[in-house]
Structure 1
Amino acid sequence: MACTIQKAEALDGARLMQILWYDEEESLYPAVWLRDNCPCSDCYLDSAKARKLLVEALDVNIGIKGLTFDRKKVYITWPDEHYSEFQADWLKKRCFSKQARAKLQRELFFPAPSASDAEDGGFLHFHLRHTWQVQDKIDANNVAYTTGKLSFHTDYPALHHPPGVQLLHCIKQTVTGGDSEIVDGFNVCQKLKKNNPQAFQILSSTFVDFTDIGVDYCDFSVQSKHKIIELDDKGQVVRINFNNATRDTIFDVPVERVQPFYAALKEFVDLMNSKESKFTFKMNPGDVITFDNWRLLHGRRSYEAGTEISRHLEGAYADWDVVMSRLRILRQRVENGN
Structure 2
Amino acid sequence: MTDVTIAPEGNFITLKAGERTARFHAIWLRDNAWDEATRAPANGQRLIALRDIPAETRVSAAKADGQRLTLTFAPENKTVEYDVDWLMQSRYDRPQETGAGWTGEGIETWDSGLMARVPQGDFTAVQSDAGAKRDWLAQVARYGFGKLTGGPIENGALFKVVDLFGHVRETNYGRHFEVRTEVNPTNLAFTGLGLQAHTDNPYRDPVPTLQILYCLESSAAGGENMVVDGFRVAERLRSENPEWFDVLAGHCARFEYAGEAGVRLQSRRPMIELAPDGALIGVRFNNRSAAAITDVPFDKMETYYAAYRRMGEIIDDPAMEVTFRLEPGESFIVDNTRVLHARKGYSGTGKRWFQGCYADKDGLLSTLAALEAPMAEAAE
Give the TM-score, by structure 2 length.
0.51
Structure 1's 172 and 202: CA in aligned 2 closer, same or farther, altered over 3 A?
same
Rounded to whole Å, the distance in 2 between the matches of 1:280 and 1:209 is 29
Of 320, 328, 346, 1:303 maps to: 346
Amino acid at match of 1:240: V
Q: SS of the counterpart of 2:183?
A: coil
Counterparts of residues 94-105 of structure 1 (less than 5 Å) = none
User: Alpha carbons of 1:228 and 1:335: their partners in 2 closer, same or farther (altered >3 Å)?
Assistant: same
Identical counterparts, % of pairs: 30
User: Which AA in structure 1 matches 2:359?
Assistant: A
The one-letter code sitting in structure 2 at the alignment partner of 1:315 is G
Q: Residue deviations 1:90-138, cap 9 Å, x none?
A: xxxxxxxxxxxxxxxxxxxxxxxxxxxxxxxxxx842696011111112
Corresponding position of 1:276? 319
Q: Distance in 2 between matches of 1:328 and 1:235?
A: 25
CA drift at 1:323? 2.4
Equivalent residue in structure 2 for 1:289, among 326, 332, 340: 332
Whole-Å Cα distance in 1 between the matches of residues 174 and 368 of structure 2? Answer: 20
Equivalent position to 2:362, from 303, 321, 328: 321
In structure 2, the residue corresponding to 1:214 is in which secondary structure? coil
Matched residue, 1:105 = none
Residues 1:202 and 1:335: Cα distance change in structure 2 (over 3 Å): closer
The answer to whether the 8 Å contact 2:170/2:358 transfers is: no
CA distance in 2: counterparts of 1:336 and 1:190, whole angstroms: 35
Match of 2:53 in 1: none
Selected match of 1:144 from 189, 196, 202? 189
Which whole-Å CA distance do the structure 2 matches of 1:243 and 1:232 have between them?
A: 21
2:211 pairs with 1:166: yes
SS in 1 for 2:259: strand
Q: Distance in 1 between matches of 2:239 and 2:203?
A: 29
| Counterpart-to-counterpart distance in 2, 1:181 and 1:262 | 25
Cα distance in 2 for partners of 1:256, 1:336 equals 56
Report the RMSD for the aligned CA atoms in angstroms. 2.4
Residue 288 of structure 1 and its aligned partner are, at CA, apart by 0.7
Contact 2:220 2:347 in 1 (8 A): no
TM-score (norm 1): 0.57
How far is 1:260 from its partner?
A: 2.3
Partner SS for 1:276 = helix
Q: Distance in 2 between matches of 1:285 and 1:251?
A: 44
CA 1:212–1:305: 2 relative to 1, 3 Å: same
CA contact 2:222–2:346 (8 Å) conserved in 1: yes
Match of 2:291 among 239, 248, 271: 248
1:131-280 to 2 correspondences below 5 Å: 131-215=176-260, 219-249=262-292, 251-280=294-323
Larger Rg: 2
Question: Partner of 1:139: helix, strand, or coil?
Answer: coil
Structure 2: runs of 5+ lacking an equivalent: 1-168
1:332 Cα offset (Å): 5.0
Instruction: Return the alpha-carbon distance in structure 2 between the equivalents of residues 128 and 323 of structure 1.
Output: 22
Runs of 5+ consecutive residues of structure 1 not aligned to the other structure: 1-123
Provide the C-alpha distance between the structure 2 equivalents of 1:146 and 1:257, rounded to a whole number of angstroms.
36
**How many Å apart are 1:336 and its aligned residue?**
8.6
Is residue 224–residue 323 contact of structure 2 (8 Å, CA) maintained in 1? yes
In 1, Cα distance between equivalents of 2:172 and 2:375: 31
